[in-house]
């Protein structure tokens, strides 16, 4: 499959420093393209399987006794109950954790890992594919699109199967209740009928509801037809149409977040500092003048914070800075996996990255800082040698000056 240009650029940023991989290599591009095709066909296969399951499940819901009677609301519960339960669980997960974590999409990425060898994709290529398609907010909406599309297939299969059953069978729709009164049942029916009525669907009248109570007189053909169309319209509106709308919404949000992710991963030109020390892995292309004006002086990090914070020591090899609170939650980001976990994870409290500014900035570190900007409250520089270099480089990566501060020793 053809790879979007933005994705190829982001892939170039991911593979920088990976000696065995070259995004310009034809074999690598073909392998990545096969993964795109595999993911597409896997999603289509999932929708097809759900369609078949829905086609099988609906006739089971229409099982009748010798009197050919169907309980109206029990039928709706069987057709739509699981759908609404899964929808509530999905909404709860989105409210509880707006940004997708790696483990939440594990079920789909596990399928990709199982099938990736069939298209000859290496583990490293697969890891880059998952990073670009199934991580962060983009991964959350991508997985949401897959789930809602699968449910759409299931409900369409059930709707068509139910339509075929009602076209070839004559049944009598009845209702019965122990706890509810006839007035309660009427109110419930009219409430459910509100949306179908907007679309011109004939809804059961009070007389239809009255004659449909169990042990009442036989229903007329018009009453049976009204109930049948009402049930089908409920499945169509509250099931198929709702899932289609959510699939479309997730698709649009996925494309938006995917573009943001790809732009953040695109390689950036290295920045020269005004320090006499050299930047590691420097880019020797002529520096273009910027319109940002003079850089703001480096502020001091506040000694007392008014809210709980999480501190992350970036590429740290010395003792924990004395300027951090003794009760602070402190973690390290010393390898690529830790960087990935930081970008994919969510935070209960504001997060601060502490940088060892005794080490000069390099392109890999600056690229990570740019990616982490959206998930980070402040950037603290701990050290003396390259404070100006780090401050300027971070600002030229789009990080606001008020997000950057110098972490002083409490004794100083």
What pLDDT sits at residue 284? 46
CA quadruple 336, 337, 338, 343: dihedral sign: positive
CB hemisphere CA count around 331 (13 angstroms): 13
List beta partners, residue 351: 310
Both structure tokens of 114: 């199982």
pLDDT digit string, tens, across residues 386-406: 888 888 889 888 888 888 988
- Residue of 266 and 287 predicted with greater confidence: 266
Query: Considering only the top CATH level, what class is 299-406?
Result: alpha beta
Sequence-distant (6+) residues with CB within 8 A of 66 are none
Predicted confidence (pLDDT) at residue 35 exceeds the cutoff of 60: yes
Predicted confidence (pLDDT) at residue 158 exceeds the cutoff of 80: yes
Task: Quote the distance between the C-alpha of residue 150 and its chain's center.
Answer: 16
Both structure tokens of 1: 């499959």
- Residue of 184 and 154 predicted with greater confidence: 154
pLDDT band at 342 (very low <50, low <70, confident <90, very high): confident
Distance, in Å, from the CA atom of 109 to the CA atom of 134, rounded to the nearest integer, reads 8
Query: Which helix (H) or strand (E) is 312 found in, with range?
Result: strand 309-314
Q: Apex CA 9: angle with CA 102 and CA 129, to 5°? A: 30
Are the CB atoms for 12 and 266 separated by under 8 Å? yes
What pLDDT sits at residue 279? 42
Q: Residue 300: what are its φ and ψ, rounded to 5°?
A: -90, 140
Q: Which residue has the tokens 């390898």?
A: 335
Name the least confident of 46-50, 199-203, 288-292. 288-292
Predicted confidence (pLDDT) at residue 217 exceeds the cutoff of 80: no
What pLDDT sits at residue 86? 94
What pLDDT sits at residue 26? 63
Number of other CB atoms surrounding residue 76 within 10 Å: 17
Are the CB atoms for 310 and 347 separated by under 8 Å? yes
Percent of the chain with pLDDT over 90: 23
Q: For the residues 93-122, what does the mean pLDDT come to?
A: 72
Percent of the chain with pLDDT over 70: 80
pLDDT band at 57 (very low <50, low <70, confident <90, very high): confident
pLDDT band at 34 (very low <50, low <70, confident <90, very high): confident
Q: Which residue has the tokens 């079920």?
A: 107
Q: Which residue has the tokens 């939650």?
A: 329
Q: What's the chain's Rg over C-alpha atoms?
A: 30
Q: Apex CA 230: angle with CA 226 and CA 231, to 5°? A: 120
Residue ranges matching CATH 3.40.50 in the chain: 299-406
- DSSP result, 117-133: GGGT--HHHHHHHHHHH
Predicted confidence (pLDDT) at residue 21 exceeds the cutoff of 60: no
What pLDDT sits at residue 339? 86
What pLDDT sits at residue 283? 45
Q: For the residues 193-202, what does the mean pLDDT come to?
A: 90
- Residue ranges of alpha helices (H) inside 286-381 are 336-344, 363-372
Name the least confident of 155-164, 216-225, 376-385. 216-225
What pLDDT sits at residue 74? 85
Average model confidence (pLDDT) across the chain: 80
What pLDDT sits at residue 345? 74
What pLDDT sits at residue 282? 45
Distance, in Å, from the CA atom of 58 to the CA atom of 54, rounded to the nearest integer, reads 6
Name the least confident of 144-148, 193-197, 398-402. 398-402
Distance, in Å, from the CA atom of 321 to the CA atom of 164, rounded to the nearest integer, reads 71
* pTM listed for this prediction: 0.64
pLDDT band at 296 (very low <50, low <70, confident <90, very high): low
């Amino acid at each position: 499959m053809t790879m979007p240009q933005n994705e190829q650029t982001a892939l170039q940023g991911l593979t920088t420093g990976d000696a065995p991989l070259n995004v310009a290599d034809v074999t690598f591009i073909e392998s990545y393209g096969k993964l795109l095709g595999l993911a597409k066909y896997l999603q289509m296969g999932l929708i097809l399987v759900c369609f078949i399951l829905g086609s099988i499940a609906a006739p089971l819901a229409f099982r009748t006794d010798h009197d050919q009677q169907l309980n109206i609301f029990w039928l709706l519960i069987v057709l739509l109950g699981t759908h609404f339960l899964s929808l509530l669980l999905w909404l709860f997960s989105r409210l509880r954790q707006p940004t997708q974590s790696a483990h939440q999409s594990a079920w789909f990425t596990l399928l990709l890992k199982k099938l990736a060898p069939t298209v000859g994709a290496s583990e490293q290529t697969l890891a880059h594919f998952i990073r670009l398609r199934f991580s962060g907010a983009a991964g959350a909406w991508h997985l949401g699109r897959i789930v809602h599309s699968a449910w759409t297939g299931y409900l369409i299969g059930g709707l068509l199967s139910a339509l075929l059953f009602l076209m070839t069978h004559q049944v009598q729709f009845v209702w019965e209740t122990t706890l509810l009164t006839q007035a309660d049942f009427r109110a419930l029916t009219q409430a459910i009928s509100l949306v179908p009525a907007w679309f011109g669907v004939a809804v059961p009248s009070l007389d239809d509801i009255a004659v449909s109570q169990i042990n009442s007189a036989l229903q007329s053909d018009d009453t049976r037809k009204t109930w049948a169309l009402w049930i089908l319209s409920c499945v169509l509106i509250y099931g198929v149409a709702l899932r289609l709308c959510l699939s479309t919404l997730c698709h649009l949000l996925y494309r938006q977040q995917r573009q943001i992710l790809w732009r953040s991963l695109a390689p950036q030109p290295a920045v020269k500092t005004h320090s006499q020390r050299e930047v590691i892995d420097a880019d020797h292309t002529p520096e273009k003048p910027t319109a940002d004006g003079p850089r703001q002086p480096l502020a001091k990090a506040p000694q007392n914070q008014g809210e709980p914070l999480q501190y992350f020591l970036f590429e740290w090899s010395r003792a924990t800075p004395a300027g951090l609170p003794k009760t602070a939650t402190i973690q390290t980001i010393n390898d690529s996996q830790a960087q990935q976990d930081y970008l994919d994870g969510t935070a209960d409290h504001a997060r601060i990255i502490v940088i060892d500014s005794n080490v000069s900035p390099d392109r890999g570190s600056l690229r990570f800082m740019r990616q982490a900007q959206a998930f980070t409250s402040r950037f603290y520089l701990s050290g003396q040698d390259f404070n100006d270099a780090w401050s300027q480089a971070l600002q030229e990566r789009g990080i606001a000056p008020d997000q950057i501060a110098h972490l002083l020793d409490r004794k100083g």
